[in-house]
Amino acid sequence: MIKPHGSETLNPLFVYDQEKHDALLHEAESLPALMLSSAAAANAVMMGAGYFNPLTGYMNAADAISVAERMHTTDGLFWPTPVLNMTNNIEAVKGHKRIALRDPNVEEHPILAVMEVEDTEELTDAEINLIMEKVYRTTDAEHPGVAAFQSAGKYVISGPIQVLNCSYFQQDFPDTFRTAVEIRNEIKERGWKKVAAFQTRNPMHRAHEELCKMAMKAVEADGVIVHMLLGKLKPGDIPAPVRDASIRKMVELYFPPNTVMITGYGFDMLYAGPREAVLHAIFRQNMGATHLIVGRDHAGVGDYYGAFDAQTIFDEEVPEGALEIEIFRADHTAYSKKLNKVVMMRDAPDHAKEDFVLLSGTKVREMLGQGIAPPPEFSRPEVAQILMDYYQSKSK
C-alpha cells in the first residue's frame, strides 16, 4: 500500500487507548480552555483522523509563513497550506503551557483536544496579508476562505495536540465519516492495490459519475473512493446529508458492485484552489489512495483561479518526489449529443458548443427549485428527484 506522507506509518493524533483517553479528558476539565475557531477545530479533526500526517500539532508563525511562501515548513516538510490555531482572545490561556481546546461546533462545547503550548505569537497585518496572497492568491474579503482567515484572529497558538473526539462528524454522519486509518483498513480488506480518490463538495451528476469511471479505467484502479467534504461550506452549497443521499443513490444504481467506497471527512472548505488541491493530494495519500482526480476549477470559487491552475501547480510548484500519490488530470466533462455519452471536452475537438449538453450550476439550481428535472443527459433522474425534493422543501 502507498506510504503516508512524511512517514513510514500513519500516526493519527486521536488518543485510542481508553485509559489514556479518560485520563486526558479528566485532566482537561481542570485546564484553562480555549474556544477554537471552526477552522482550527477542523484542523484538529483532520490531525486526529490521520489525514494531516505527519503533523503533530498546530504550526507556529515561522512555519505558517514558510509554508505560505515556499510550501515547506522550516524543517523541510513539504506542506501546501498553514495549519493554524488562530484566535482573537488569548486572555484565558495566556501564560499556560497546557490547555484544553473546546469545540465551537457542538452544543455545550465539549473538549476536542488537549494542547501543549509551545508558543503564542501575534501575526502582523503584513504577515496575514502575505499568507492570504500566497495561499488564496487574493486578499479580497469576498473570497470565503479569505473571509474565514481574516476573522479567525491575529494570535497563533502553536504546539502538539492529543485529540479526544472527532467533533460532530461521527454522530451526524455515522455511515459516511471515516478517518484515514479506517479507509486504509478498508482498502486493505477489499484487496485494492490502485485506488482513485474523487473529491466533492457537491452532488454528483452524470459528468462526475463518468469522470470517476474514466479515471478508474485510465489508471486501471480496483476502485474509487468518493470522498465528500462534511464540514463548513459557503452559503448556497447543498447540505452534506442531501449530497450523501444523492451520491449513494447514484452509486447504488449506476456503478458495478464493490467498485466504490463512499466516505466523508471533517474539514472546513478553504476554497484555496491550487494550494487546496495539493492539500487534497496529501490527505488522500494518507488515507491510502494512489491517484487523485483533479478536475476543472478544483477547490475553486468565483473567478479567483484559472480553470486548470489546480493541475498545473503539480507541474510547476510541487517538487519532484514530494508526493507519492499521482494526479489524474481531468478536463471539463459534458454529454455529447453526437456520441450519446459523456466525454471530456478535450477529447472531442470536432464538437461545437451546441453539440454538448451544458448547464450552469445556477441554471440547474433554478430548475430543481421549480420542480423541473434537469435533462437525463445531465443528471440521473433518481439523483435529480432527491435534489428537487430538497430545493422544494426549502421554498415552502
Contact (Cβ atoms closer than 8 angstroms) between residue 84 and residue 46: no
List the catalytic residue out of 202, 248, 296, 365.
Answer: 202
pTM beyond 0.75? yes
Task: Give the helix, strand, coil percentages of the chain, each rounded to 5.
Answer: 35, 20, 45
DSSP state of 56: -
List the catalytic residue out of 190, 201, 296, 365.
Answer: 201
Which pLDDT tens digit goes with each residue over 331-366?
888 889 999 988 988 889 999 989 998 866 677 878
Contact (Cβ atoms closer than 8 angstroms) between residue 328 and residue 170: no
What's the pLDDT band for 392 if we cut at 50, 70, 90?
A: confident
pLDDT of residue 320: 95
Tell me the C-alpha distance between 274 and 35, whole Å. Answer: 30
Most confident of 8-17, 197-206, 240-249, 359-368: 8-17
In angstroms, the first-to-last Cα distance of the chain is 50
pLDDT of 232 higher than 80:
no
Contact (Cβ atoms closer than 8 angstroms) between residue 233 and residue 269: yes
Assign domain 18-170 to its CATH architecture. Answer: Roll (3.10)
Assign domain 183-395 to its CATH architecture. Answer: 3-Layer(aba) Sandwich (3.40)
Tell me the C-alpha distance between 265 and 229, whole Å. Answer: 5
Which pLDDT tens digit goes with each residue over 55-64?
999 999 999 9
Contact (Cβ atoms closer than 8 angstroms) between residue 310 and residue 23: no
* Number of residues assigned to the chain: 396
| Strand, helix or coil for residue 57 | strand
The DSSP-derived string for 151-219 is: HS-SEEEEEEEEE---TTHHHH-TTTB--HHHHHHHHHHHT-SSEEEEEESS---HHHHHHHHHHHHHH
Is 202 annotated as catalytic?
yes
Half-sphere exposure of 92 (CA within 13 A, CB side): 14
> In the predicted model, what is the mean pLDDT of residues 227-239?
81
Which stretch of 154-163, 252-261, 364-373 has the lowest confidence by average pLDDT?
A: 364-373
pLDDT of 396 higher than 70:
no
pLDDT of residue 149: 96
| Alpha-helix runs per DSSP H in the chain | 18-28, 38-48, 61-70, 125-135, 144-151, 169-172, 180-190, 206-219, 240-254, 274-286, 309-316, 361-369, 381-395
Is 284 annotated as catalytic?
no
Structural domain spans, the chain: 18-170, 183-395
